[in-house]
Structure 1
Amino acid sequence: MAQTAAPAAAASAAAVIPPIHTVYFDALGRPINTAEGADHREDMIYRDSVGGSVRVYYPSGKLRRVVPYLHFAYGIKYGSETSFYETGELKSRCEYKVDGPVGYYQQFYRNGKVRFRTPMGNDLPKDAQGEGFGPDGLPFTAAYNKEHSKMPAMRGGGGDAAIVQAVQQAVRYPAEALRSQITGRVLVSFMVDDCGFVRNVRIVKTPSPVFNATVLSAVASLGRLTPGEHDGETVDVFYTVPITFSIR
């Protein structure tokens, strides 16, 4: 005869789901202890004992971004990551499976038409290219994009070159790699989101995992940037930065 222990197990699992964890951030993206003086808040909402979603809010309290996690501690996303205009319309969407993003990262106009499609997933062809479209749905040219877009910038000034340089200069050669004479080039990708925060940092290629921590730390040290814009709206912008480790 089959045993009926499932309800008890479910109750036990439910009992260990942690409460919502709220973190407040100042205008520079640094965590602070209270809501007083905060720029915005992020809620970590558990679905089970290890995963759930992070909900990011505008300073007004309106929902800005939802990031789904299979496992918070391991940083494993699973599901649809979405962001929203402050007025509620869908602004971006990207699907994630256990091994990373799938397909394209899509950004939308307020009318629901696609603004940008950025290749992200390993399921795409190696030569997959990003695309941009006008509010009418028609592809726009590189010249149009350049004229109508503004790239992110460092808070103290400096655009793309300054951002790349800041990451490269913040990297430190790991002692373990020096001892073992490990060299090579790391490729790290990240997104500067529509509020200037660095998100979705991932190592694309590395000669050895020993380099990963210092590279990830270097990207995190960028802090909050001035976000990119397109047609007067702030948008998410993606970077891939090469970092070469060599012993002279």
Structure 2
Amino acid sequence: MRFYTLVAGACLFAAEASAQQGITPIKKEFLDASFHVLPDAVGAYYRREIEQLDSIKGIERTYFIDGRRRSVCEVELRKSPICHGISESWHDNGQLSEHTEFDHGKRVGELRQYYENGQLKRRASYTAPFTSTGECFSKDGQPVPFFEYEQMPVYPDGDGSKQAIVAAIQQRVKYPMDALVAKKSGRVLVSFNVTRKGKVADIKVVQGVFPSLDRAVVQALQKLKPFKPGQVDGKPVVVGFAVPVSFAIE
């Protein structure tokens, strides 16, 4: 209850600040079951409200469309809100599902998860964004082998890290002749998703340098080997990446 008391006090401050600084205190959105933003309430599964407390802080609350609470998170206001502080979520039946802490979008401190019957499912302490120690339990409270809640996709070559992905892309890139003749060099920033089956998909050039250089990076990505998929709570998920690929003429 102490957390919510702090939030209520912050809300009063936000109302005063909005009057003085022109801050819009509440932003409302409707979401589908996959949390995609909808133009209106038609077909909505969730309603999200983002309360701006000051120029950099806010509270993001999500409700089921019938008004039941789904989640609440302290956020850092950027182009898109980033979790920064305490985050809690609830099951359909109102039982607490998860309590966790974030530091600029990265998990820190303690994570606690619960089954719908209230039984503790996981208790973990984070030392890095995707590394934790702790314990896991079955629905009847029996200990089960611990596994990481979040696991990033792993590339099969090298150490599987993001650096290994960049190295694999560079190995598959051929410097286009027209770019050499034109003496074009620089860094291509490209984004892509790793699907639940470990395949590369949705490739986009975020920041290009020269048409043939951009195409060379996209073609190299298409030739990557399948990843070991990322997982959340033991289930495969889609994970997005953004990687830079540099071209230099020596």
User: TM-score, with normalisation over the residues of structure 1?
Assistant: 0.52
Does residue 171 (structure 1) correspond to residue 203 (structure 2)? The answer is yes
Provide TM-score, normalisation by structure 2.
Answer: 0.51
Structure 2 counterpart of 1:93:
99
Deviation at 1:245, TM superposition (A): 8.0
Kindly indicate whether residue 111 of structure 2 is the aligned counterpart of residue 79 of structure 1.
Answer: no
1:13-162 alignment to 2 at 5 Å? Answer: 13-15=17-19, 16-27=22-33, 29-73=35-79, 75-98=81-104, 100-117=106-123, 120-122=126-128, 128-129=132-133, 131-141=135-145
Work out whether residues 115 and 121 of structure 2, in 8 Å CA contact, stay in contact via their aligned partners in 1: yes
How far apart are the structure 2 equivalents of 1:118 and 1:190?
19
Q: How many residues align?
A: 176
Following the alignment from structure 1 to structure 2, what is the Cα–Cα distance between the partners of residues 130 and 242? Answer: 28
Describe the shift of the 1:63–1:72 C-alpha distance in structure 2 as closer, same or farther (beyond 3 A): farther
More strand by share: 2
Q: Distance in 1 between matches of 2:82 and 2:34?
A: 26
Displacement of 1:56 in angstroms is 1.2
Please tell me the root mean square deviation across aligned C-alpha atoms, in Å: 4.7
Indicate conservation of the 8 Å contact 1:94/1:105, yes or no.
yes
* Cα distance in structure 1, aligned partners of 2:27 and 2:138: 39
CA positional deviation for 1:97: 2.4
Determine if contact 1:50/1:73 at 8 Å carries over to the other structure: no
Contact 2:25 2:53 in 1 (8 A): no
Return structure 1 stretches of 4+ with deviation > 6 angstroms.
181-185, 189-193, 237-247
SS class of match (2:144): coil
Query: Would you say the 8 A contact 2:195–2:239 is kept in 1?
Result: no
**One-letter identity of the residue aligned with 2:144:** F
TM superposition shift of 1:118: 5.7
Matches within 5 A, 1:206-245: none
Structure 1 distance, partners of 2:30, 2:38, is: 5
- What residue identity is the alignment partner of 1:96? F
> Structure 1 stretches of 5 or more lacking a match?
1-9, 146-160, 194-226, 229-236
- Residues 142-200 of structure 1: CA distance to partner in whole angstroms, max 9, x if unpaired? 8xx9xxxxxxxxxxxxxxx952445x222245534947x99999x9x98769xxxxxxx
Instruction: Indicate the percent of aligned positions where both proteins have the same amino acid.
Output: 25
2:98–2:111 CA contact under 8 A, matched in 1: yes
Of structures 1 and 2, the larger Rg is shown by 2
1:184-223 alignment to 2 at 5 Å?
A: none
